[in-house]
């Protein structure tokens, strides 16, 4: 069945998609200058960057089935959102009458609505293993076209678009007036051939009719069969599966086959490998030492494409759940892969265009980046390591939530309760108490311990989600920082500014005899922050009376901390806030 795959279904238009489009578009635009410059505008010359890929060009973004991180594989929107920034990767499945479709895997089970059409599953032996499910070769192309739709195959991803679009037909896609750049990956060739489908002939016919940029397969016999018969413009790529998987032709594990790159070069111009072939991940989920695979392949003239990238798949603690950092690990090094295969092509494209080489970022705009207890996702919050990491990461303003000890030492910590942010429970559980003025549950409070006692415990990373632990190797690294040390660091590193948060002032003054406001004011004055305008000083508190104490120092900006989520505020309320705060 031939159809225009760029026709959009109205029901798929929603605010979520609009927000995603807006975010993706804005992320690629240069920042708007703060002030207009007088005189004629001459565009600044952009230096041509030399990439360490085999060709010297920037790495390719290869989208597995389009934008499959959001949409079902091969659906119109999955293709439409990735078409202009990536090469479309089609994992080929064939029907009994040689219909060619794009779906990852051996079966149709999770990725389609096939079970609604045919409740009967079959079992086939594939590469020595019995596989049960729904197989494309049990159906005709017309049965697939007329009765089956695509679903999101990964259940943790949105199911909003399930059952809306037909399974992607290769002919329908490539006969479109403006087809995407196309990569055909031939899966399970031996299986299809065993059941009477002449896969080599089918693929060669596709290569003859359509301009295919890449053709790949994990089966050596297939690649040798098309070697020299395909269009010279089509690159032939050998896909290596997981290292322990056995290749059906050589009957050797892929991890052994990859050691003989010279042999691979006799039938392919490049390789596609799981990213772990390049940067192995150790059992503790940290990166091991890199292999020399990319460099060795490039020496022989083989391109290397890394697969397995997805924003929502955990890879290694080294990346701190930041997919951009992971892409840069593979493309922004001494030797770069020639492309990445991903379910989120927008992220990969932005990593290459906006972050690689560390000099293609747009100029910083007026928005301030303020740390949250330093880089508290990498190291325990409010420690020396967390603050230095935040500064290294380019933060504008570092923050200190000031707490007081029993003997009057001011130090930085996210909470007056030390249970979550330190190992205090192991030593001071007997000192826990219930203080309704501070919180509804018992805690070990800094104002009940001396500074020397606090120094006997270790800081601790706070995991905001129990199933997503942060950097466990550095769980208790770093040392606590006093307020004077924090201010000294801010001056030494010449950060753009500081934010000092003051909480529980009334309780500390009335119950503990501790003047936290006076201590902060004195520390800032001793560090001469009240006598300069080079570095911004933000004083934050949820207590308006605290902010009022700093009204006579014009260089300080007072920030009202509002703990509740609000959608709007009437003008009289805003006017009242402006009497004692500059921001909120």
- Model pLDDT for residues 213-256, shown as the tens digit of each residue: 999 999 999 999 998 888 888 999 999 999 999 999 999 999 99
- Given this chain, do its domains 51-91+179-358 and 384-577 carry the same CATH topology? yes
Q: Which two tokens stand for residue 369?
A: 């980046």
Q: What is the pLDDT of residues 11-36, one digit of tens each?
A: 333 434 433 444 443 333 333 333 33
Q: How far apart are CA 32 and CA 581, in angstroms?
A: 29
- Residue 584 confidence (pLDDT): 64
Return the domain boundaries, the chain. 51-91+179-358, 384-577
Question: Is 51-91+179-358 CATH 3.20.20.190?
Answer: yes
Q: Which two tokens stand for residue 561?
A: 């901390």
Q: What is the pLDDT of residues 313-343, one digit of tens each?
A: 999 999 999 999 999 999 998 899 999 999 9
Model confidence pTM above 0.75: yes
497 has pLDDT over 70: yes
Which residues are registered as beta bridge partners of 441?
Answer: none
* φ, ψ dihedrals at 141, nearest 5°: -60, -40
Give Cβ neighbours of residue 481 (< 8 Å, ≥ 6 apart).
Answer: 382, 383, 384, 387, 400, 411, 412, 489
Are the beta carbons of 281 and 271 closer than 8 angstroms? no
106 has pLDDT over 90: yes
494 has pLDDT over 90: yes
Look over the chain and give the mean of its residue pLDDT values, rounded to a whole number.
89
177 versus 503: the higher-pLDDT residue is 503
Q: How far apart are CA 154 and CA 535, in angstroms?
A: 48
Mean pLDDT of 542-560: 92
- Residue 465 confidence (pLDDT): 83
Mean pLDDT of 376-385: 97
545 has pLDDT over 50: yes
Q: How far is CA 296 from the centre of its chain?
A: 28
Q: What is the assigned CATH class of domain 384-577?
A: alpha beta
Mean pLDDT of 297-312: 97
Cα–Cα nearest to 187, from 219, 155, 154:
219
- Residue 333 confidence (pLDDT): 86
Q: How many CB atoms lie within 10 A of CB 429?
A: 11
115 has pLDDT over 80: yes
285 has pLDDT over 70: yes
Cα–Cα nearest to 162, from 147, 173, 172, 152:
152
* φ, ψ dihedrals at 211, nearest 5°: -80, 95
């Amino acid at each position: 069945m031939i159809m225009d795959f760029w026709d959009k279904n109205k029901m798929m238009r929603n605010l979520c998609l609009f927000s995603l489009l807006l975010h993706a578009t804005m992320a690629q635009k240069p920042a708007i200058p703060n002030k207009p410059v007088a005189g004629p505008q001459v565009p600044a010359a952009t230096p041509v960057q030399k990439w360490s890929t085999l060709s010297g060009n920037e790495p390719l973004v290869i989208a597995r089935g389009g934008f499959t991180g959001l949409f079902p594989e091969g659906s119109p929107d999955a293709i439409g959102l990735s078409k202009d920034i990536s090469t479309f990767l089609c994992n080929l499945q064939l029907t009994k009458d040689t219909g060619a479709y794009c779906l990852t895997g051996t079966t149709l089970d999770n990725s389609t609505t096939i079970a609604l059409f045919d409740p009967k599953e079959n079992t086939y032996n594939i590469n020595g293993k019995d596989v049960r499910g729904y197989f494309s070769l049990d159906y005709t192309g017309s049965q697939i076209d007329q009765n089956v739709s695509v679903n999101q195959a990964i259940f943790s991803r949105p199911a909003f678009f399930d059952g809306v679009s037909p399974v992607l037909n290769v002919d329908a896609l490539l006969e479109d007036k403006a087809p995407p750049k196309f990569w055909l990956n031939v899966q399970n060739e031996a299986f299809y051939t065993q059941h009477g489908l002449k896969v080599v002939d089918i693929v060669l016919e596709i290569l003859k009719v359509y301009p295919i940029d890449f053709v790949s397969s994990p089966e050596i016999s297939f690649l040798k069969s098309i070697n020299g018969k395909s269009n010279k413009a089509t690159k032939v790529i050998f896909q290596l599966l997981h290292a322990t998987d056995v290749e059906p032709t050589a009957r050797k594990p892929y991890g052994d086959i990859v050691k003989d790159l010279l042999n691979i070069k006799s039938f392919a111009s490049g390789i596609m490998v799981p990213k772990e072939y390049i940067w192995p991940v150790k059992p503790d989920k940290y990166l091991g030492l890199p292999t020399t695979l990319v460099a060795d392949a490039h020496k022989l003239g083989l391109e290397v494409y890394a697969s397995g990238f997805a924003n929502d798949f955990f890879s290694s603690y080294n990346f701190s759940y930041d997919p951009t950092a992971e892409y840069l690990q593979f493309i922004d090094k001494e030797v770069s892969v020639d492309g990445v295969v991903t379910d989120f092509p927008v992220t990969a494209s932005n990593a290459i265009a906006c972050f690689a080489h560390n000099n293609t970022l747009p100029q910083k705009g007026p928005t301030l980046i303020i740390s949250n207890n330093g880089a508290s996702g990498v190291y325990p919050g409010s420690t020396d390591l967390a603050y230095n990491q935040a500064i290294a990461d380019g933060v504008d303003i570092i923050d200190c939530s000031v707490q007081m000890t029993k003997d009057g030492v001011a130090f930085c910590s996210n909470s007056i309760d030390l249970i979550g942010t330190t190992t205090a429970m192991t030593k001071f559980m007997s000192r826990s108490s219930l203080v309704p003025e501070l919180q509804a549950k018992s805690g070990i409070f800094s104002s009940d311990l001396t500074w020397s006692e606090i120094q006997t415990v270790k800081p601790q990373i706070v995991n905001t989600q129990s199933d997503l632990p942060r950097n466990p190797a550095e769980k208790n690294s770093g040392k606590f920082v006093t307020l004077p040390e924090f201010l000294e660091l801010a001056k030494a590193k010449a950060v753009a500014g500081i934010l000092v948060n003051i909480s529980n002032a009334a309780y500390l003054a009335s119950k503990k005899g501790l003047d936290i406001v006076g201590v902060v004011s004195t520390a800032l004055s001793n560090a001469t922050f009240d006598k300069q305008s080079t570095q911004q000083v933000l004083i934050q508190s949820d207590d308006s009376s605290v902010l009022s104490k700093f009204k006579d120092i014009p260089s300080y900006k007072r920030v009202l901390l509002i703990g509740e989520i609000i959608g709007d505020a009437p003008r009289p309320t805003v006017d009242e806030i402006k009497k004692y705060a500059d921001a909120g």
